[in-house]
């Protein structure tokens, strides 16, 4: 009989204290699950991006006062943002910042890992969907071989300077990289690396999703357990991953099961887009706030605080309704434009 794993039960809502901040809405990769080939993406003008001063002002005067203390910098690809190291240092220096993380494709990380670490970045997640250069090319597009080598070098650089935990994100796509599940899981055995398997989901890639489908986390766990065994880890994360471990391994395996095991009841995050839209959920724009327009129009910060606080207060109810109904709200942007 295949080994079965208990999913996490419904829990009381976590405090909404985690803000994902998208620094750019574009990327130097074109991953098939994020920016499908031929997609007509309407990028924000750079002058519509929140400036560094505006981001810091919103953090100091709006988000931190209403209860946000943990931040993750995302994109598109955040390392494309000019002055990203200086911005990291400024956010890390805020007395209320309890945790500062980043999600990146790792392509530019070889030179930036050490400066980011010294600037105060606590944690880093790097996308690594394949260990095979040709498969990698098929997923990310462009010059696959040189890009894989650069990403792998970036991972090594981040590990060397001391990022811990160092997490590697894997989106599992049937018929593309699912044959590498065991090879990717094995990276956690001899290294203190945390491999996170993410169920493929349809956001702006409906044609590919309908063609390929998706593999649920239970199936992935079963493959790993059959090879090595699998046990619940005592390492817990800030996010939605269910964390397991190969017996005796230095690292862990996380499973993000947004398709098969809805975790809306456990979601503690909100998202700020590069052009200043605050949304309560990756899949739901209900009640989103255009902070950039209001900020530049001179709307008092006290009013922005009240509106953000009200949306934050409403989020647990949005979470509950989405979990109970299984129906997502309307969304008009792709994964890369939202910030993942």
So where are the chain's domains?
Answer: 18-338
Give strand pairing partners of 193. Answer: 166
What local confidence, expressed as pLDDT, does residue 10 receive?
44
Look-up of token digits 């991972």:
155
Residue 24 CA neighbour count, 13 Å, CB half: 16
Look-up of token digits 């700020």:
272
Give me 299's structure tokens. 């709307």
What local confidence, expressed as pLDDT, does residue 308 receive?
98
What local confidence, expressed as pLDDT, does residue 225 receive?
97
Q: CA–CA separation, 75 vs 24, rounded Å?
A: 5
Over the chain (340 residues), the average pLDDT of each successive run of 10 is 51 79 92 71 86 98 98 96 98 98 97 98 97 92 78 97 94 94 98 93 63 83 97 77 94 88 80 94 83 98 98 82 54 58
Q: How many CB atoms lie within 10 A of CB 299?
A: 13
What local confidence, expressed as pLDDT, does residue 211 receive?
54
DSSP-assigned letters across all residues of 236-305:
--SSS-EEEE-TT-SSEEEEE-TTTS--GGG--EEEE-TTSEEESBTTB-TT-EEHHHHHHTT--HHHHH
pTM for the model:
0.90
Q: Residue 129: which residues within 8 A CB-CB, separation 6 or more?
A: 31, 135, 136, 139, 140, 169, 170, 171, 173, 177
**Which is nearest to 139 in space by CA: 112, 181, 177?**
177
**Fold of the domain built from segment(s) 18-338:** TIM Barrel (3.20.20)
What local confidence, expressed as pLDDT, does residue 234 receive?
82
């Amino acid at each position: 009989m295949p080994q079965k794993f208990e999913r996490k039960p419904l829990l009381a809502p976590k405090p909404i204290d985690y803000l994902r901040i998208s620094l750019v809405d574009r990327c130097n990769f074109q991953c098939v699950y994020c920016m499908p080939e031929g997609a007509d993406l309407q990028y924000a003008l750079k002058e519509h991006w929140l400036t560094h001063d505006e981001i810091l002002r919103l953090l100091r005067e709006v988000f931190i006062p209403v209860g946000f203390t943990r931040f993750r910098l995302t994109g598109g690809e955040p390392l494309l943002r000019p002055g990203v190291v200086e911005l990291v240092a400024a956010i890390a220096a805020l007395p209320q910042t309890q945790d500062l993380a980043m999600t990146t494709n790792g392509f530019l990380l070889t030179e930036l890992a050490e400066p980011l670490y010294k600037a105060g970045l606590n944690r880093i997640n790097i996308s690594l969907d394949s260990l095979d250069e040709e498969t990698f090319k098929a997923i990310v597009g462009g010059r696959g071989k040189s890009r894989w080598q650069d990403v792998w070098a970036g991972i090594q650089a981040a590990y060397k300077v001391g990022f811990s935990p160092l997490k590697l994100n894997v989106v599992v796509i049937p018929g593309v990289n699912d044959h590498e599940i065991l090879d990717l899981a094995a990276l956690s055995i001899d290294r203190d690396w945390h491999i996170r398997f993410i169920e493929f989901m349809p956001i702006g890639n409906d044609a590919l999703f309908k063609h390929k489908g998706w593999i649920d986390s239970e199936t992935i766990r079963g493959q790993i357990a059959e090879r090595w065994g699998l046990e619940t880890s005592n390492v817990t994360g800030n996010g939605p991953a269910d964390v397991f471990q190969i017996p005796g391994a230095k690292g862990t395996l996380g499973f993000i099961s947004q398709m098969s095991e809805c975790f809306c009841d456990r979601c503690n995050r909100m998202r700020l887009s590069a052009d200043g839209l605050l949304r309560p959920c990756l899949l739901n724009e209900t009640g989103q706030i255009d902070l950039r327009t209001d900020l530049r129009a001179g709307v008092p910060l006290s009013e922005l605080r009240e509106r953000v606080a009200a949306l934050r207060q409403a989020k647990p109810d949005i979470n509950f309704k989405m979990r109970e109904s299984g129906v997502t709200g309307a969304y008009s942007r792709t994964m890369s434009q939202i910030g993942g």
